[in-house]
Amino acid sequence: MNRFTHLIEFFRLEEPNVQIVFAGVFLLAALSGLVGSFTFLRKQSLIGDVIAHSILPGICISFLFAHEKDPLFLLIGAVASGWLSTYFVDRISSGSKLKEDTVIALVLSVFFGFGILLLTMIQQGGYGSQSGLDQFIFGRAASMTRTDVLILVLAFLLISSTVIVLFRGLTMLVFDPDYAGSSGFPIRILRSVLSSATVLTVALGVQAVGVVLMSALLIAPPAAARFWTNDLRKIVLLSMAFSVISALMGSASSYTSTGLPTGPWIVMFLTFFALGSAFLGRKHGVMRRLIRRRQNAWKILSENILKSFYYLSDGFTTQAGYSVAMVSKNTGINQLKVRFGLLLLKRSGSMNRSQGGWFPSSDGKIEALRIVRKHRLWELYLSRFMHLKPDHVHEDAEGIEHIITPEIESELLAELGFPSTDPHDNEIPEITEMP
């Protein structure tokens, strides 16, 4: 039976064990995407890493007390150990001069080292029921039971309903905790709720993906979602979608490749989504930034060319066409770029061409007036309020004129008292209909 047949068999959900794994990783991934969105946006992603490494001693201590791998008992120990690690991080960070990243590294290494020590003692202590306890380090979704799935269902319902009820407060906590506190939101309670949700999610997730890789399930999905949108609701939904798809595909890949654990496969798919989003993300992706930068460069080129026609025609008092060479000489831009900019303006309807050369349309003249107007207003502002000499304001105005919005222009006019001339006694043009 080839891998494709195994893959189809996995998604048919015919085997009881496959059904358990499918439901378990689905719920765990959805929880991780949900909780991870808030911890990521609060810039506390490393807290998830601390918790993931710190729950191992709690699991081991619970086993030593119970002498069996009871899921509920192990979960209690994991949650307690995770909570203790976050408490130490907060106390040491607030009560010492150590930086938070140093404290995180310290707590993580101490707890994980203690956990490895206990795990080694258990493995060498002759406990017959300890078999498989080391799977908490790297994870094994196939070992999940119906009890694990039931606990995940209850945890998902509890955490998701809590997030829905407290969504406004959690949003304020993520983006502006100081304002949230001054507005009457219970910041301490919200932080405790979020910490509890994170600890519980990590404690539930270690059996599927392991202590080492659980932090990736909290960080990668919201990091990928952040490249697509700024809206928190969309970030949460995208994060959950990326996490669920990666978890299911990782589980399916592990099912078709005997001997390879689920956790690393899930992280591989998460990496694919994270790198793909970093490159293609609609809001902050590399390609989007390159396109936006190129569009801004074209906008500046076009506006500089339009402005040059204002000066060449002495404020549009003469009607004449101008060659590419004349525009290039006036602007200091090479002829190839000038030709490209003129074609862009022609496409937008701001420029025309005749046998006499290039000349702006009525819309192009209005836009040129607007650019010159913003330039001279900013020169006057720099001269009057920043006390710069008139011969030192031109270059600054050249850069800022392209980003002054109509709202800023209105404020400049009001602040300057609706002036008619700039520091060089040049007229600040009014925007009127052009023939």
Tell me how long the chain is: 435
Q: Per residue in 257-269, pLDDT tens?
A: 766 677 778 888 9
Assign 25 a pLDDT band (cuts: 50, 70, 90).
confident
Choose among 346, 344, 401, 333: nearest CA to 371. 401
Choose among 163, 162, 164, 169: nearest CA to 187. 169
How much is the average pLDDT of 119-146? 65
In the predicted model, is pLDDT for residue 224 greater than 90? yes
Name the residue with tokens 């310290």. Answer: 106
Assign 52 a pLDDT band (cuts: 50, 70, 90).
confident
**Per-range mean pLDDT, top range of 252-256, 273-277, 402-406:** 273-277
Alpha-carbon span 309 to 352, nearest angstrom: 12
First to last CA, the chain: 77
For residue 19, the model assigns a pLDDT of 83
In the predicted model, is pLDDT for residue 61 greater than 80? yes
- φ and ψ at 344, to 5 degrees? -60, -45
Residues of the chain with CATH 1.10.3470.10: 3-284
Question: Is 3-284 CATH 1.10.3470.10?
Answer: yes
For residue 344, the model assigns a pLDDT of 92
Name the residue with tokens 């595909």. Answer: 249
For residue 6, the model assigns a pLDDT of 65
Q: Per residue in 303-330, pLDDT tens?
A: 999 999 998 888 887 878 889 999 999 8
User: Which has the higher per-residue pLDDT, 385 or 131?
Assistant: 385
Average pLDDT, the chain: 84
Q: Per residue in 337-383, pLDDT tens?
A: 999 999 999 999 999 998 888 999 989 999 999 999 999 999 899 88
Q: Per residue in 89-100, pLDDT tens?
A: 888 887 787 887
For residue 142, the model assigns a pLDDT of 65
Helix axes 146-165, 16-41, angle to 10 degrees: 30
Alpha-carbon span 217 to 220, nearest angstrom: 6
Alpha-carbon span 59 to 204, nearest angstrom: 11
Is there a contact between 34 and 236 (Cβ–Cβ < 8 Å)? yes
For residue 234, the model assigns a pLDDT of 93
Assign 433 a pLDDT band (cuts: 50, 70, 90).
low
For residue 176, the model assigns a pLDDT of 81
Is there a contact between 69 and 63 (Cβ–Cβ < 8 Å)? yes
The DSSP 8-state label assigned to residue 314 in this structure reads T
CB-neighbour burial class of residue 67 (10 A; exposed 0-12, middle 13-18, buried 19+): exposed
User: Which has the higher per-residue pLDDT, 202 or 275?
Assistant: 275
CA distances from residue 84 to 49, 271, 434 in whole angstroms, order as listed: 14, 30, 73
Task: Kindly provide the residue ranges of all beta strands, DSSP E only, lying in 297-370, ordered along the sequence.
Answer: 351-354, 357-360
Alpha-carbon span 419 to 398, nearest angstrom: 19
User: Which has the higher per-residue pLDDT, 68 or 313?
Assistant: 313
The number of beta carbons lying within 10 Å of the beta carbon of residue 320 is: 11
Alpha-carbon span 431 to 372, nearest angstrom: 10
How much is the average pLDDT of 52-73? 78
Residues of the chain with CATH 1.10.10.10: 288-360
CA distances from residue 379 to 49, 331, 411, 419 in whole angstroms, order as listed: 52, 19, 15, 12
For residue 404, the model assigns a pLDDT of 87
Assign 233 a pLDDT band (cuts: 50, 70, 90).
very high
For residue 212, the model assigns a pLDDT of 64
Alpha-carbon span 169 to 180, nearest angstrom: 7
* Residue 364 neighbours by CB under 8 Å, 6+ apart: 306, 309, 345, 349, 350, 351
How much is the average pLDDT of 19-31? 87
For residue 301, the model assigns a pLDDT of 92
Q: Which CATH architecture has domain 288-360?
A: Orthogonal Bundle (1.10)
Regarding pTM above 0.85, the answer is: no
Choose among 24, 1, 7: nearest CA to 256. 7
Alpha-carbon span 122 to 136, nearest angstrom: 14
- φ and ψ at 404, to 5 degrees? -75, 120
The phi-psi region of residue 429 (left if phi > 0; otherwise alpha if psi is between -120 and 50; otherwise beta) is beta
